[in-house]
Structure 1
Amino acid sequence: MPHYFDTAHREEIETLRRRLTARTEWPTWLLLVGVYVGWFSIVLNSAWLGIGWSTVLLIPLVVLWLSVQHELLHGHPTRWTTLNKILGYAPFAVWYPYTLYRDSHLLHHRDEDLTLPGIDPESRYLSAEQWQGSSLFEQGLHWLNKTVLGRFLIGAPLALVGLAREELRRLKSADRQAWLMWLSHGALTVLMLFVIARHSVLPVWHYLLLISVPALSIAMIRSYYEHRPHAQPEQRTVLNEAAWPWCWLFLNLNLHLVHHDLPSLPWYDLPRAYHARREQWLARSGGFLVQGYGQLWFENGVRAIDSPKHPFL
C-alpha cells in the first residue's frame, strides 16, 4: 500500500480486497473464459458469420485479450506467476509474446522512470541525441504519431518495427531467453494460424493484417496520452474519465494513475477506488485529467499533443 495513503484510505482499499469478488476473482475468470470461448466460436463459425462480421467481432475481442493479458501479468486471477503465464500465453494478438509484454510492462511500473526514453520501456518520447540522430522523415513520423489519427494509423507499425529491431538484436547476440521465448511463441502462433486456415474462412494474411494489426492500433489509442513528462512522478500519469465502452475494452486502465498507485488492484475495483476519492486523485495527478477519448480526438485528432522530444533529457 502506498505510504502517502492515510489510514482511512488504506482501510477503504483493504475493504475492497476483502470482498468475495476480490477473493474469488470470478469477474476475471469469467472474462478469461469468455475471450477463449468467444475467439474459438467466431473462428469456427466464420463460414456462417462471413469474413466481414468475423472481422468486426474479432478485432475488439483481440483488444480485450490484450487487456486481459495485462490483468494476468499483474497477478490476476491467481497469485501463481506460472499459471497466469499459461492462461495468458495464447497468441491471439500475434505480435507480442506474453512474457515479453509482462517483463517490459513491469519495468514500466517504476514510476520514478516514467516517460524517460531508454529507461521506461513504454516511453513514447525521444532523447535529444535520438532526435538529432533521426532523419527528417523519421522526425515527421514521430510528430504524426503525436496526433490521435497518426497514432491510430502508424502507431502499431512503428511499434512493430521497433520490436523487430530490438528482438533481432537479442537473437543475434544468442540471448537464450529470447530464443526460447520466440520459439515457444512462434510454435503456438503457427498452431493458431493452422486452426484459422483449416477451420475458418479467414485467410491467414487477413487475420494477421486486418485483425491483429487493427486491434493493436485500437490498443494504441489507450496509451496515446497515458503519461506526460513532469518533474513529479505522480503527475505523469493520466486520469481519463472515458465512456463505458472504452472502460470495458480497456478494463478501466483509462484510470491510469489509480492503476499505477495500486497495480495489484483488479480491473473491476479501479472505478470504485477512484470515485470514492475522486478529488484526492485529481489533486495527486496535478489536474492531469482527460474527459474521455472523444476529447483527445476533438482536440488532437490532427494536432500533436506535445513534442516527441523529452523536455528533461
Structure 2
Amino acid sequence: MNENRRVIVAERPRYIVPTVNCFRLETAPMPDCGPGQLRIRTLCLSMDAQLYAKLQRISPDAEPIRLYEAMTGPALGRVEASLHPDFSPGELVSGFWAWQDYVVSNGRRLRKLDFSLQRSTHALSAYGASAFGAYIALQKLAPAEWGETVVVGTALGGLGNIASQIAKAKGCRVVGITGSEEKCQRGMTALGLDDCVSYNAPDFADRVRTACRKGVDVFVDTSGGKVLEAVVPLLQRKARIAACGLMATPHFGEPAFRGRFQNTMSFMFEVINRRITVQGLVIFDHLRQSLRDFHRDMNAWIDSGKIRPMEDIVSGLEQAPRAFQDIFEGRNVGKRLVWISD
C-alpha cells in the first residue's frame, strides 16, 4: 500500500456540533521514516469530547488544529518500520496522532503496550484518557466513599461508564444520567446502576429528586446545563463535584438555552479551565503522579470483574467524522472507537 488516507479539517463547525461537514477524506503519499524515527500503522482511533476544543479553538489548554491539516486524537497502532533504537517492528503503541492510516514519529509521547492489557482496544477505553479522567474524578477530585450517593452525568459515555463502575466498586449507590430510556435500561443491566434518569424526560428534575431521596454526595458532571441545575439543589453538606466536561455546550444556540443555562454553562467552563474548586478536571495535571496507580487499579478491577469496559466500535477510517459527531448527539453506548485496520 503506497497511499496514506487521512481525515483533514475542512472547515470549522457551522452548527456548534462538529458534523461530518467539518472533515474531508483525502489521500497523501506513504510517509517514510528517517534516522531516529518509526512508522506506525494506525489500528484504532478514540473519539473524545475534549477534541471539540481543538476543533473550535475555545480552550487555552488545547492548541487548535489548523484548517486543511489532519485531525488528531488518541490512537492505537502497530510499529511497521523503525529506525529508532527503542521501538521494534510489530510492537503495539498508543499515543496522540493524526487520523490517518500511517504516521511517522520520533518516539516522543508514545507508550508501548507492555503492561497487562486484557485486549488491545482497552488502551483507548479502559486505560485511555476518558477512563483516567473517571479515575481521577473519583479518587482525587471528588473521592467517593462506601454508602454515598454518586450521580454520573452521561453515564454511558466514555468517561461516564467507567466512573459508574468505579463508584460501584467502591460500594456507592450510583444514579446515572443518560439521553434515553433505552440507555437507562442498558445502564442498569450492563453497569449495575442503582437508578437512571433520561435528561430528555419531561419531568427530568423531579425524577432526579426521586432517585436521590437522601441527597447527592458526589456529582461527576460531564455536561452542565439542565443536568447541573437538577443536581445542585440535592447536594449534601460537604458534597463534592468533579467538573469533567461540558457535553451540553453544543446546545448553546438552542432557544431553551438562551438566558436559562448560558450563565451556568459559562461558569462551569471557567471551573474546568481555571481549576476553580468545585474541582475542575484536566487530566494532564495528574499524569505524572497518578498514571501508574491508575493502570494498577484498573487492571485489578478488570481482572476481578468489577469493571467491564463498554466499547462502541465502528469500522473504517471514512467513518471517523460520523463517529465523532455521534458522541455529541448521544448516539454512542460506551467508549466510541473507530477500528481502522487489522
TM-score by length of 1: 0.27
Indicate the structure with greater helix content.
1
Greater relative CO (CA pairs within 8 A, separation 6+): 1
Indicate the structure with greater strand content.
2
TM-score by length of 2: 0.25
